[in-house]
Structure formats: structure tokens, C-alpha cells
Amino acid sequence: MIKQHSSGIVLAFFIIMAGIFFNPFSADADEFHWGFKKATDGIPPDAGGALNALLEKHGAIYKGKPDEKIVYLTFDNGYENGYTESILDTLKKEDVPATFFLTGHYLKSAAPLVKRMVAEGHGIGNHSYGHPNMANLSEKRMEEEWTTFDKLLKDVAGVERTIYTRPPEGVFNDKVLAKGNELGYRHIFWSIAFIDWHADKPRGRDYAYGELMKQLHPGAIILMHTVSPDNEQALPSFIQDAKKAGYAFHSLDDLVMEYENVHSIFR
């Protein structure tokens, strides 16, 4: 009987220790892959206590206030596929701001569109220069990815530097967030996304529209990819119908200002 209890105690000890050392939500984990259960019924998703605490530590944001019908449009642009001009036309017609997270390749290959984004008042986010796994880089290489992008952006569009950054494929760790803060960057994640980056596998306008409307919630940061014809086709109806449902579209600058105001109360 004693031996049985002893064995159980030893087993429990090793399970606890394994949980400590291999917990995927540990701040010292090699890397995190951003993701969570999709929002439904207008209820914002929750990344969980551990990830929420990690993001809070570094001022990273993935959603706004849950009691205000405000949403924030963001797009990731790794390369141009012919749909961004139409997306910009829609944003202009509907008077909706957006932030475009670009790569170095996009800056070099689609400079006229970048200049148009800036001229029409949209934000430019830093999606890194070469789209690497940032969590695998040294701090020096992280800095090079962000600052090389910024230097090219200044040459292309006259923007002095970016403030908002988003890790390629949502892969990050504590060191990425900390180094970004040190250099003056704030990480912006998202609370609404769907599979829309396979340019050669369109699923149709209704698919994109349906995903956006099903996941829509107050404070949503929406991630879309401009390579998708589905998004180009769905965007006008989505914006119009979200507005009819009482939603307003604000910029990331508005979101960050709100975030700072709320958190200043607790400092």
C-alpha cells in the first residue's frame, strides 16, 4: 500500500515538473503561435490568462473594449496580387481607415500602392523586412528586420518610421515583444481572422463575408490578406452591413490612445 502511494507521489511529481518545464504558455517558451477559439455571438475571444498577461506586460494589443461597437481593419501584405487597388477604392468610398502591415518585398514591388496608402491616410505597419520567424532570431537580427524595413519605407513613401509591428505568421516570444518595446514598437495582433492567404485557392465572396460577420464583435481587430479575391469582393458588403449593425471603423491610433488612457488609470 505504501509502495503504491509512493509510486503515485513520484508520478505526480514528474507530471507537475513536466507541466512547469513544458508549459506552452510559459513566458520563457521558445515561441508562441498566435491563435484562439473564434469569436461567436458578438462575444470577443480570449487568449487566456497566460498570454493575456504576457501581452499586457509589453503593451501588445489584440482587441479593443468589449462594450463598444468599434472595429479596426488591418491587412497583411507580403506581395501584391492585383486586389489592393480595389480594396483601397472601397476604403475610400466608405471612408474607413485601415493599417497595412507590409514586408520589404512589398515596399519594393508595389511602391505606387504604398504611396497611395499613405496619401489616403492609412497606417503602415511593420511586418518585418524579410518575413522570417522572429522568435528564431537574435536581438540584433530582430532589430535589423524592423529598422531595415523602416529605412526602405522612408525612401519609398517618406514615412519616418513605423510604430506598429506584427510578427510574420503570428510567431513570437517574450524576447520579440521586449526587443520591440525597446526600439519603440508596439505589437498588434488580432481577434478576427480566417484562412484567406491561399491566393490559388479562392473560396468565394460569401465565404469571406460569412467569416467576417460570424466573428464580428465589439473591439475587433480584423486581420485580412490582400492576396485574396474573396476579401476584395466581400469587403464592400461587410463594411456596409457592419455599419448597419451599429459598428464604427476606427484607426489603430484611436485604439492605442484608448488603451493608454485606460491603463493610465491603474498606474
pLDDT of 1 over the 90 cut? no
- The answer to whether 135 and 30 have CB atoms below 8 angstroms apart is yes
Q: Please pick, among 58, 76, 187, 196, the residue that the annotation labels catalytic.
A: 76
pLDDT of residue 15: 31
- The answer to whether 159 and 124 have CB atoms below 8 angstroms apart is yes
Beta strand 186-187 pairing with 171-172: unpaired
- Backbone phi and psi for residue 48, each to the nearest 5 degrees, phi listed first: 100, 155
Cell, residue 246:
451599429
- Backbone phi and psi for residue 124, each to the nearest 5 degrees, phi listed first: -115, 125
Beta strand 186-187 pairing with 164-165: parallel
pTM: 0.88
Amino acid identity of residue 252, one-letter, is: L
Summarised one tens digit per residue, pLDDT across range 35-88 is: 889 999 999 999 999 999 999 999 999 999 999 999 999 999 999 999 999 999
Summarised one tens digit per residue, pLDDT across range 143-169 is: 999 999 999 999 999 999 999 999 999
Residue ranges with strand state E in the chain: 32-33, 70-77, 98-102, 123-126, 164-165, 171-172, 186-187, 221-225, 248-249
Go through the domains of the chain in sequence order and give each one's CATH number: 41-264 (3.20.20.370)
Average pLDDT over residues 105-132: 98
Q: Please pick, among 122, 187, 225, 250, the residue that the annotation labels catalytic.
A: 225
Average pLDDT over residues 98-113: 98
pLDDT of residue 21: 32
pLDDT of 234 over the 60 cut? yes
Summarised one tens digit per residue, pLDDT across range 178-226 is: 999 999 999 999 999 999 999 889 999 999 999 999 999 999 999 999 9
Active site residue 127: no
Counting Cα atoms < 13 Å in the Cβ hemisphere of 116 gives 12
pLDDT of residue 81: 97
pLDDT of residue 258: 87
The most distant pair of C-alpha atoms in the chain lies apart, rounded to whole Å, by: 77
Active site residue 225: yes
Cell, residue 180:
520591440
